[in-house]
Structure 1
Amino acid sequence: MTNNFQRALGEGGFGTVYHGDLDSSQQVAVKVDLLLRVHHINLLNLVGYCDERDHLALIYEYMSNGDLKHHLSGEHGGSVLSWNIRLRIAVDAALGLEYLHIGCRPSMVHRDVKSTNILLDENFMAKIADFGLSRSFILGGESHVSTVVAGSLGYLDPETSRLAEMSDVYSFGIVLLEIITNQRVIDKTREKPHITEWTAFMLNRGDITRIMDPNLNGDYNSHSVWRALELAMSCANPSSENRPSMSQVVAELKECLISENSLRSKNQDMSSQRSLDMSMNFDTKDVPSAR
C-alpha cells in the first residue's frame, strides 16, 4: 500500500504518516507505526481494518467480559470479583503498561489509563485498550516528555505540565484504588470528593474494613490489601518523583498476589484437615462397642 514506506507525509501522535494507494484507485494517508509496534498479551490485539467507501473501522479482538468498571459497579450483572481476581487483573494491566514504557522502542505513554479502558476476556485476563491518546517518544534527555494535556477527569496527573511515563503510573494508581475500594473516582457527595483524598482520610482512621469494597465481605488477606493500598497511594503521589516505575509496580503486585494465594492455600489445607479430623471423630463414635 505504501510502496515499502516510500513517501512520508509527516509525524503524528500515532507515529509516521505515509502516503499510500488503496487498490491503485484511491490515495490514503497510512498511520502504521503505533499499531505495528504494539504486541503484548495484556494489550488489546488489532485484528484488522475496514475501509469501504464511508465505512472506516479498526477491528479488535472481542473481550467477552467487558470492562473493569462495569464489573466493579455491578452493572455487568455477574458475580462480585474476588480479591484474588482483582489482584490478577491489576497485575495484567500493570504488565501491559510496563511493556509500553520499556518494551517499545521508542517508549510509549498511554495517557488515558482508566478502569473503562481495562477489558476482560472470558478468563478475566485483563488487556489495556484505547490507544487514541497514546504518544511515542524518543528515549533520552527530555524528548520523552509531552506538554500536551490528555486524559480523563479524576485520572489526570496533577503535574499536567509534564506528561510522561509517570503520568500513566498516577492514573494506574487511581485504577488500583478503584479495584480496592470500589469507590467512585470523584464523588461530590463524599466529604473528600477525590478517591485519593477519601482513601487518605480513611487510612488515618486505621480501619481497613471501611476502605475495602464491602461486597468482598472480608474475604481477603489483610496483609496483601495493605501492601496494595500502600502501592496505590505511592503511584498516586502528587509528585512524579515519588512514584514507582511500572516495573516496580509489577513486582510489588506480584508479591501481593503470591501472598494472597499462599494464605488461601494454607487456609484451605487447614480447613481440609479440620474436616478430616471431624470425620474421623464421627466415625469413631459410630463404631459399636464390644459385648
Structure 2
Amino acid sequence: MTKNKRFTYSEVVTMTNNFERVLGKGGFGMVYHGTVSGTEQVAVKVELLLRVHHKNLVGLVGYCDEGENLALIYEYMANGDLREHMSGKRGGSILNWETRLKIVVESAQGLEYLHNGCKPPMVHRDVKTTNILLNEHFQAKLADFGLSRSFPIEGETHVSTVVAGTPGYLDPEYYRTNWLNEKSDVYSFGIVLLEIITNQPVINQSREKPHIAEWVGLMLTKGDIKNIMDPNLYGDYDSGSVWRAVELAMSCLNPSSARRPTMSQVVIEINECLAYENSRGGTSHNMNSQSSIEVSMNFDIGITPGPR
C-alpha cells in the first residue's frame, strides 16, 4: 500500500463501510476499522471536523499538512462574530431584536445538529458569542470545534479529566462533577441568550451581582423587563417575545442539567419568540406587569441552587 496516500472523504466512508465498526477513541476523534483495496485492514482515525456538515456550522474547506505544518482552511465569515456586533465595535447599526433572534435560532440549529445529527453525538464545549460567526448575509454559524468531544454511545455521558470552556459560560454542574453531556452546551447557550437580551458582559465585577445569570435573576425579582433589555433597542420589540426568551434562557441555566431543555426544544421556543416579534408589525406592545411579576416569581426558584 502506498504510504501517506491522501484519500477523499467519500473514499474514507467506503473504506470504513460508513463508519460501521468502532475500534477505539482517540483524543479528538474516533478510530474505525477499515479495508483498503478490499483486502488490507486499516485503522482509520477520523477527526471530528470531517464529518460535520451543516448550514449553521462553519465549514471546513480543506487542509494542508506538510511535515510539521498542519493548517485547517475554513470558509470566510465576512461579518465577524456576534460579540463584535453587539458591542457596536464593527460600526453599523445595532442589531434589532428580530435579527438577534434569527442569529440565535441559527446557532441553536447548529448545536442541535451536533447533539442529534452527528453519530456519535458531539458536545461543542465552548459555546459563546465570539464563537458565533456571521457571513455576508448575516447567517449565523457556530465556529471553533477545537474542544468538541463526541460520545461513543448515544446518550452516554463522559467524565472528562480537564474541564474545558470559557469562564462565565461554563456549566456549574460540569465544573463541579467533570460530568460532560449535551446539557453543558445548553447552559452556555442560555448565557448567550442573556447576552443578546441584555447586551451586558457575562461577568462584570461592578454590578450588584457580577455574573449575568444572577444579575438577571435579581432584576426579575423586581419584575421589570426594561432594566434587563438592551437600552440600545429603545423599547422597539414585542415584550411577550422578550419574556419568552428570558424564560427560555433561565430554564437553560437550571442548576440541574436534567431539568434544562434539549437543544431541539430550544430551537422550537426561539422560533416561537420570532413569531411573536414578527406578528407585532413594528410597534412595541405594552407590557402586562402582572404576567411579568408571575414569571419572575417562577424564576426565582430555579436560579439559586436549592438543597440536593
TM-score by length of 2: 0.77
Residue 110 of structure 2 is matched in structure 1 by: 96
**Cα separation, 2, equivalents of 1:2 and 1:123:** 34
Task: Specify every segment of 5 or more residues in structure 2 that has no aligned partner in the other structure, as ranges.
Answer: 17-21, 33-42, 285-308
**Cα separation, 2, equivalents of 1:13 and 1:90:** 30
Matched-pair contact (CA < 8 Å) for 2:121–2:154: no
Residue 224 of structure 1 is matched in structure 2 by: 241
- Provide the secondary structure at the position in 2 that maps to 1:209: coil
**Cα separation, 2, equivalents of 1:187 and 1:30:** 46
Matched ranges for 1:235-254 at <5 A: 235-254=252-271
Matched-pair contact (CA < 8 Å) for 1:14–1:31: no
**Cα separation, 2, equivalents of 1:45 and 1:73:** 26
**Cα separation, 2, equivalents of 1:61 and 1:178:** 26
Matched, 1:193 2:210: yes
Matched-pair contact (CA < 8 Å) for 1:114–1:175: yes
Instruction: From 152, 177, 180, give the equivalent of 1:138.
Output: 152
Matched-pair contact (CA < 8 Å) for 1:138–1:144: no
**Cα separation, 2, equivalents of 1:2 and 1:247:** 37
Instruction: From 87, 109, 134, give the equivalent of 1:120.
Output: 134
**Cα separation, 1, equivalents of 2:24 and 2:256:** 34
Deviation at 1:123, TM superposition (A): 1.4
**Cα separation, 2, equivalents of 1:187 and 1:159:** 22
Matched-pair contact (CA < 8 Å) for 2:101–2:274: yes
Matched ranges for 1:1-291 at <5 A: 1=5, 11-16=25-30, 32-53=46-67, 55-140=69-154, 143-148=156-161, 149-160=163-174, 161=177, 162-264=179-281
Task: Specify every segment of 5 or more residues in structure 1 that has no aligned partner in the other structure, as ranges.
Answer: 19-28, 269-291
Amino acid at match of 2:183: M
Matched-pair contact (CA < 8 Å) for 1:227–1:256: yes
Matched-pair contact (CA < 8 Å) for 1:13–1:134: no
Alignment identity in percent?
A: 66
Matched-pair contact (CA < 8 Å) for 2:125–2:185: yes
Cα pair distance change 1:32/1:140, threshold 3 Å: closer
* 1:212-262 deviation digits (Å, cap 9, x = unpaired): 001111110000000000000110111112100000000000011011111
Paired positions, count: 257
Matched-pair contact (CA < 8 Å) for 1:101–1:108: yes
Matched-pair contact (CA < 8 Å) for 2:50–2:60: no
Amino acid at match of 1:86: R
Matched-pair contact (CA < 8 Å) for 1:158–1:238: yes
**Cα separation, 1, equivalents of 2:27 and 2:89:** 34
Deviation at 1:16, TM superposition (A): 3.1
* 1:45-67 deviation digits (Å, cap 9, x = unpaired): 00011234554310000001100
Matched-pair contact (CA < 8 Å) for 1:13–1:133: no
- Provide the secondary structure at the position in 2 that maps to 1:184: coil
Cα pair distance change 1:124/1:146, threshold 3 Å: farther
Amino acid at match of 2:217: A
